[in-house]
Structure 1
Amino acid sequence: MASGFSGVNGGSSNTAATEVTVPKRAIDTNGNVFEVPDFTIKDILSAIPKECYKRDLWWSLHYVVRDIAAITLIGYVGTNYIPVWFPSSALARAAAYMVQSYLIGLFGFGLWILAHECGHSAFSDSNAVNDTVGWVLHSWWMVPYFSWKFSHSKHHKATGHMTRDMVFVPYTQKEYLEASNKSKLSELVEEAPLATLLKLIGQQLGGLQLYLATNATGQSYPGVPKFFKSHYWPTSPVFDAKDYWYIILSDIGIISTLTVNYLWYRAYGAHVVLINWFLPWLWVNHWLVFVTFLQHTDPTMPHYDAEEWSFAKGAAATIDRNFGFVGQHIFHDIIETHVLHHYCSRIPFYNARKATSAIKEVMGKHYRYEGENMWKSLWKVARSCQYVESDKSADGVYMFRNFNNVGPKPTPQT
């Protein structure tokens, strides 16, 4: 059980024989009571059926083949027949090419997710197969495979930890004010919806590349220049010394992709590369940020300091959402079963729904799910989750706050 406290509807009661400890409670961004989970990782793992852990190489590979086949078919049909179908309308051709790139981007992100499975050893029982498939697929979408694998592993080991998590580490109020170039709380007025929209567009288009290149939204590593803490730099503080040559190999994968695209451009022209790779690559960037941001940011979501954090609490600081047919069948359930993924990342995605049903019985009210339209959630989260602050009634538990009049008022700085 978590340590006792005296706070919102909380406190501890004693008997002659034992002390009853009440889990900490805090007020979330919506003004509701959040109770810190008190189950253990053993409770969670014990509930998962053993068959959920089984990894089937051929079944995993069939998804790779399926997604590549879909991308190839869409690209072939679009590139060769759109000029035939719309010979006299440049606007219609442009619209059709946009649809083509969008569809390739959907299946492209599906391939990215399969590479992500490889990084967690959920793709097969063979590390050699996992790393080979993952390196090829991630490199194609300009993500350095081993660099991502190592930093992402650290993220899983410290999800929701204010000083050890590796991505989407939230601002404190002081950091947010400084980043907004505001020295006093009174100077910061409600952020205009247009400003929120522009921030979201920048985040969705460039957020992934900024993270890879500068470790934006990760730990700050004071005194280290931005590029030297990137996912491309082999001595970045993000990695351990033993990772050096793997980071080099990751960079070789990126260079290989750029080379292939250059040769593709020389052979078939910029237009073919634009509609079949570059625009789909932008979509893959968008989907990755869209999905991961909403998996780890929500008005009901806590973060913890070092003393309060535990693996079980941190893994519960994630949320499942629903993206309909695309989420289940093209994005390989990465959205719908992410809570389970943080408790046991080696369970392959095709067994994750069954395992999710099992852990929900243990998590109870602590299992987070939001079924509203994810685009609506994106806007709500951007408006309401600007920074975190520790709830005074539950020290060590940090909840999201904002200056947009959503939920509890910000605590004035002194």
Structure 2
Amino acid sequence: MSSVVVSTGTDTVNGGAEKTVSKNLTTRDTYGKAFKVPDYTIKDILSAIPKHCYERSLIRSLGYVVRDITCMCLISYAGSNLIPKVEIDQYEQLSKVLRGGLWCLQSYLIGLFGFGLWILAHECGHGAFSDYKNVNDFIGWVLHSYLMVPYFSWKFSHSKHHKATGHLTRDMVFIPYTKEEYKKAHNVSKLSEIMEDSPIRTLLGLIFQQIGGLQLYLATNATGQELKEYSMPYKSHYNPTSPIFEKNQFWYIVLSDIGIISTILMAYNWYKYDAFHMLINWFMPWLWVNHWLVFVTFLQHTDPTMPHYKDHEWNFARGAAATIDRDFGFIGQHIFHDIIETHVLHHYVSRIPFYNARDATKAIKEVMGDHYRYDGSSMWKALWDCSRACQFVDDEDVDGVMMFRNVNGVGVKPSD
């Protein structure tokens, strides 16, 4: 489907220079359905949001922190005192298996609320936690450090991600291959020379992504911009001189590293004192937090209907719309603090606290219309479908508007 350009428009972001983009563009998504590129402006979005949505309450936000920590402590206490007593008469082996399963359940539940804490720290980084910057940074630093995420390092790179979401060369995470990069990675001249990925290979890739994706990103900037002139360790979020940071952020990165080192020392001493309970109450829940973070962020920014843009067709309003809201039921709304269900709004105005985000989402949907993306299907199925369908992007239909394609026979067959 070819594009039709009838006029140009401008968009202004954060008081910056106006950005001219083509108007009335239409292309095809992965499944061959028409995709109309958004033409509304960020001003249209901001004008629609009720003023009360911007109100932040330190007491209310702290209440959620206390709630999540209390739940984690109660789960740990209940597990430590009740699980050892589980026993089935005359079935010692079955009793061990049952206790093992309950220990795993304990770690899983702690991990759910641990990710809830991660989201509250993420709110701190955006200034959505309260009106007090120093309070936000202190609480965010403590919570993220406990979860082994360098707070200021994440805050700074994540801010750049928000400023350039969906921009092919300026976004900071989940940067897809272009078609040419994908062919180069497979050392071929034509896509037809690439074998379809087997389901087993897709599954193994997903397992690696979910377990190690976050740590690889933090340590090497994997899935971020390539920055070919720098070595992978040099691009680390732990390196104060990394090119992903500004020079005046040096000591904040050091402070982030101090938080991580403190947690490592805490975990090491806990392990020496009581290895089993350290593994059940911190290490395994930490693995779950890693999983949830990659699971959620990948699916917020990857979908067969999702565009990416080259610079000449990107603006802030289009980039923020290159996200999708999904539904994770009770857990998403009440434990993950609606980070999944209101993420589109979050990319338009990140300083709105999560407890006001549903009202704001209703408001911007009126402006976005068909451009608002929502998928209420199983997120586990979506994880699989996106992994199979979203292998690289190409602008074969409209110059500068990049849509996902694949060699797995899903949807539109890509050109060589």
Q: TM-score if structure 2 supplies the norm length?
A: 0.93
- In structure 1, distance between residues paired with 2:184 and 2:144: 35
Q: What is the identity, as a one-letter code, of the residue corresponding to 1:266? A: K
- In structure 1, distance between residues paired with 2:81 and 2:183: 52
Residue 183 of structure 1 and its aligned partner are, at CA, apart by 5.2
Residue 253 of structure 2: aligned partner: 247
- Corresponding position: 1:396 with 2:400: yes
* Corresponding residue SS for 1:403: coil
- In structure 2, distance between residues paired with 1:388 and 1:197: 21
Residue 131 of structure 1: aligned partner: 137
- In structure 2, distance between residues paired with 1:155 and 1:283: 24
For 1:78-97, list aligned pairs within 5 A.
78-86=79-87, 88=92, 89-97=95-103
Aligned 8 A contact 2:23 2:39 in 1: no
Residue 147 of structure 2: aligned partner: 141
Provide the identity percentage: 67
Residue 84 of structure 1 and its aligned partner are, at CA, apart by 1.0
Residue 11 of structure 1 and its aligned partner are, at CA, apart by 5.1
Residue 327 of structure 2: aligned partner: 322
Residue 307 of structure 1: aligned partner: 312
Residue 396 of structure 1 and its aligned partner are, at CA, apart by 0.6
* Corresponding residue SS for 2:313: coil
* Corresponding residue SS for 2:393: strand
Residue 342 of structure 1: aligned partner: 347
- Corresponding position: 1:377 with 2:382: yes
**Distance of aligned partners of 1:332 and 1:119 in 2 relative to their CA distance in 1, 3 Å threshold:** same
Residue 187 of structure 1 and its aligned partner are, at CA, apart by 2.6
Deviations 1:260-319 (A, max 9, x none): 11121222x211111101110000000000000000000000000111100000000000
Residue 19 of structure 2: aligned partner: none
Q: 1:8 aligns with which of 2, 7, 25?
A: 2
Aligned 8 A contact 1:213 1:232 in 2: yes
Residue 203 of structure 1: aligned partner: 209
Residue 41 of structure 1: aligned partner: 42
Deviations 1:179-199 (A, max 9, x none): 345454333111101110000
Residue 168 of structure 2: aligned partner: 162
Residue 415 of structure 2: aligned partner: 411
Residue 24 of structure 1: aligned partner: 25
Aligned 8 A contact 1:322 1:374 in 2: yes
- In structure 1, distance between residues paired with 2:29 and 2:385: 14
Residue 12 of structure 1 and its aligned partner are, at CA, apart by 3.7
Deviations 1:71-105 (A, max 9, x none): 00101111222111237422111101110000000
Q: TM-score if structure 1 supplies the norm length?
A: 0.94
Aligned 8 A contact 1:168 1:218 in 2: yes
Residue 10 of structure 2: aligned partner: none
RMSD over aligned Cα atoms:
1.3
Q: What is the identity, as a one-letter code, of the residue corresponding to 2:338? A: D
Residue 178 of structure 2: aligned partner: 172
- In structure 2, distance between residues paired with 1:181 and 1:257: 42
Residue 156 of structure 2: aligned partner: 150
Residue 14 of structure 2: aligned partner: none
* Corresponding residue SS for 1:307: helix
Residue 22 of structure 1 and its aligned partner are, at CA, apart by 5.1
Residue 60 of structure 1 and its aligned partner are, at CA, apart by 0.2
Residue 63 of structure 2: aligned partner: 62
Aligned 8 A contact 2:191 2:415 in 1: no
Aligned 8 A contact 1:27 1:391 in 2: no
- In structure 2, distance between residues paired with 1:42 and 1:54: 19
Residue 292 of structure 1: aligned partner: 297
Residue 9 of structure 1 and its aligned partner are, at CA, apart by 6.9
* Corresponding residue SS for 2:312: coil
Residue 237 of structure 1: aligned partner: 243
Aligned 8 A contact 2:40 2:317 in 1: yes
Aligned 8 A contact 1:26 1:391 in 2: no
Aligned 8 A contact 2:30 2:404 in 1: yes
Residue 133 of structure 1 and its aligned partner are, at CA, apart by 0.3
Which stretch shifts more, 319-328 or 90-99?
Answer: 90-99
- In structure 1, distance between residues paired with 2:109 and 2:310: 42
- Corresponding position: 1:218 with 2:212: no
- Corresponding position: 1:357 with 2:351: no
Q: What is the identity, as a one-letter code, of the residue corresponding to 2:389? A: S
- In structure 1, distance between residues paired with 2:293 and 2:186: 25
* Corresponding residue SS for 1:105: helix
- In structure 2, distance between residues paired with 1:274 and 1:262: 11
Residue 336 of structure 2: aligned partner: 331
* Corresponding residue SS for 1:351: helix
- In structure 1, distance between residues paired with 2:329 and 2:87: 31
